[in-house]
Every structure is written in structure tokens, then in C-alpha cells.
Amino acid sequence: MAEPLVPCPFCRSTETEKRSDFGTSLMVRLHYCRDCHSHFEAIKWGDRAAKLDLPQFLEER
């Protein structure tokens, strides 16, 4: 199965690639953005599918 797309948290670009299966903790992967040249971490299971307890203004993101 293809890796899910991880958008860059800095610039929203989807031109990203996974660099490592482990970041600063077990729960995150390390990614790299080819557009803004930033490294960033993302939680492995993602949160978009999981329902977080948030007020509406943050739900809309």
C-alpha cells in the first residue's frame, strides 16, 4: 500500500518525502519538504482520521 501523503506543516506543499521511520520519538516519522527545504516530523498514524476534541475554529483546518 502506498504511503499516505504528508503535507508540509510549514508551507502546505505535498512535495514531501519520508526520510526516516523514526524521529525524536517512536511515534513520529521524519519527513522532508522539497519545496521549502524543511525537515518535519509527523505522527505515524496521523490525526486527520481520528476525531480530536476541538472547538469548531480548529476543526475547520
* Residues within the interface to another protein (CB under 8 A): 9-12, 36, 47, 52-55, 57-58, 61
Q: How far is the CB of 29 from another protein (least distance, A)?
A: 15
Residue 1 vs 29, nearer CB to another protein: 29
SS3 content of the chain, % helix, strand, coil (to 5): 5, 25, 65
Residue 10 vs 21, nearer CB to another protein: 10
CA of 20: how far to CAs of 11, 25, 33, 45, 61, in Å? 20, 12, 13, 15, 26
Residue 21 vs 54, nearer CB to another protein: 54
